Amino acid sequence: MDLTLDIIEVTSCRRNLVVEVPAEQVENEITELARSYARRATVPGFRPGKVPLAVVRQRYRAELRSDATQQIVRRSWEEALKKHRLEPIDEPVLKDLSNEPGSPLRFTLSFEVLPSLEVTGYKQVTVTRTKEEVTEESVQAAIEALRERDAQFIPVEEGEIRDGHLVTMDVEGTLDEGGKSFREGNVVCIVGSPETDPAFSENLRGARQGETRSFEVAYPPDYHRKQYAGKRVRYSATIGEIKEKVLPEPEDLARELGSESLESLRTRLRDELVTKADRDAEKKARDAVLEEILQRNSVEVPQSLVEAEMREFAGRIAGNLARQGIDPGKASIDWRRLLEEERPNAEKAVRSALVLDAIARQEGIRVTDEELDAELEKIADGTRKPVAALRAQMEKDEQIQSFRDRLRRHKVLDFIYRNANINRG
């Protein structure tokens, strides 16, 4: 195809392919398409397949020019990929289209590529590794957390609702705007809990089983449940079951967890907390090493990769909601705001991946098939799936390469951490 292809470097990761096609070539393309149209076109007054080419060109001139343009754009892109050895990381965006009859066809295809990056200063990075001290207070807090985990809620037959009580109730509500009413049965809340609307806690305190409490709540304009934001709702709550939280005795808890005594449980928990503190300290030091390298190496991040990272984040949120039986589309989540708040994290994740990938190329770090299989074995053991089935599923979902990429980046982080100067704080 006779055309002009020019590559313009807009930024380190943005390229524009500027294309110009002679008007005669566009006309030739339209003529070929018109012949194809003529073979199947149905035009009153002409037998099928016998419609004159001039009639076809006149009747379908808009469609012919549009189809011809699409074909030329597609072939131009394919030719540019081969001629310039382009490696785009996203689909090209068509812009600046000039497509007037009798004039050359001009257009631009904008796309992103991975930025060229040579990382420096990634060895002998100096950071301080600090470990959180494990105190008797932290051990006691761990015991209390275990008691909370194993707490039981015992029905309260008599008495008034107080903070900490778990209350089941039937709720009726009326919105002040239009008087729309709704009813929800078996609503559960813990009075006084941070997760419970303060207005509900305030109005339920002192109530008894079977009693109905009526009250009004004015919701702020930015309330997370949009149907109530900025509105006033009149509630009528009929108290059903009231339960009181009962914590297990520490000695009983120790025996239930397989320890001979409370003191042996404390020793075990102390050892676990020390191990966790060591692990957390190393993770913070590794993150600090990478952060220092990112500071030393400025790199522009392709927005297509940032958007992909944000979509993956949204997918994880939606998956978690679905596993809880919540329809992500009906959840009271401002998805646009959530993703914009996540954008800085997504940009940093992409920047980190680009830097680690560059170091891997520079140092010749790769993941062997044996290392890949070993990691798949670990996952298979956890999911109780055969390794072959797990690999087949990941290959079907096109996840093997991304999994290998994550393993390689982890190896690179190991490499730069081993070559860092770690000061023990």
CATH (domain of 165): 3.10.50.40
Whether 229 and 303 share a structural domain: no
Overall number of domains in the chain: 3
Q: What is the pTM of this model?
A: 0.76
133 domain-assigned: no
Closest CA to 290 of 351, 243, 244: 351
pLDDT at 18: 95
225 domain-assigned: yes
- pLDDT per position as a tens digit, 317-339: 989 888 888 788 777 778 888 89
pLDDT at 222: 83
Whether 240 and 275 share a structural domain: no
- pLDDT per position as a tens digit, 34-93: 888 777 777 777 767 667 878 778 888 888 899 999 999 999 999 999 988 889 999 999
pLDDT at 392: 87
pLDDT at 92: 95
* HEC sequence for the chain: CCCEEEEEECCCCEEEEEEEECHHHHHHHHHHHHHHHHHHCCCCCCCCCCCCHHHHHHHCHHHHHHHHHHHHHHHHHHHHHHHCCCCCCCCCEEEEEECCCCCCEEEEEEEECCCCCCCCCCCCCEEEECCCCCCHHHHHHHHHHHHHHCCEEEECCCCCCCCCCEEEEEEEEEECCCCCEEEEEEEEEECCCCCCCHHHHHHHCCCCCCCEEEEEEECCCCCCCCCCCCCEEEEEEEEEEEEEEECCCHHHHHHHCCCCCHHHHHHHHHHHHHHHHHHHHHHHHHHHHHHHHHHHCCCCCCHHHHHHHHHHHHHHHHHHHHHCCCCCCCCCCCHHHHHHHHHHHHHHHHHHHHHHHHHHHHHCCCCCHHHHHHHHHHHHHHHCCCHHHHHHHHHHCCCHHHHHHHHHHHHHHHHHHHCCEEEEC
Whether 90 and 15 share a structural domain: yes
Is 70 exceeded by the pLDDT of residue 178? no
Mean pLDDT score across all residues of the chain:
90
pLDDT at 1: 59
Whether 232 and 284 share a structural domain: no
Is 80 exceeded by the pLDDT of residue 177? no
Whether 276 and 242 share a structural domain: no
- Give the residue numbers spanning the domain of 29: 4-112
pLDDT at 263: 95
- pLDDT per position as a tens digit, 398-425: 889 999 999 999 999 999 999 999 998 7
The predicted model gives 13-26 an average pLDDT of 94
Is 90 exceeded by the pLDDT of residue 226? no
Whether 93 and 161 share a structural domain: no
The predicted model gives 198-213 an average pLDDT of 94
Is 90 exceeded by the pLDDT of residue 108? yes
